[in-house]
Amino acid sequence: CVRRRYTRGMANGMMNHTESIVQQMHAAITTALPGAEVHVGSNSPGHFELRVVSGAFAGLSRLKQQQLVYAAIAPLMKGEGAP
């Protein structure tokens, strides 16, 4: 389930790019953490909100949990196409 938030006045091209990144982030996290409950949203271009609930986090510190999620989306946050 991906929660979408649309902001009035945002250019269609930017919204399409942002929505594409949201979908890619969702796919990357669910691939890295099968069975996870994943919600990705965007409040503005280049700013994303993630909520991930996974059994893989059991017994891990918050830092280790964040590292698992960041490792999944790191390729999307690098290079020319980064948000």
Q: What percentage of the chain carries pLDDT values higher than 90?
A: 58
What count of other Cβ atoms lies within 10 Å of the Cβ of residue 72? 21
| pLDDT band per the 50, 70, 90 thresholds, residue 14 | low
Among 22-26, 27-31, 49-53, 76-80, where is mean pLDDT lowest? 76-80
Residue-wise burial string across 7-40, b where 16 or more C-beta atoms lie within 10 A, e elsewhere: eeeeeeeeeeebeebbebbbebbbebbeebebeb
pTM greater than 0.85 (yes/no): no
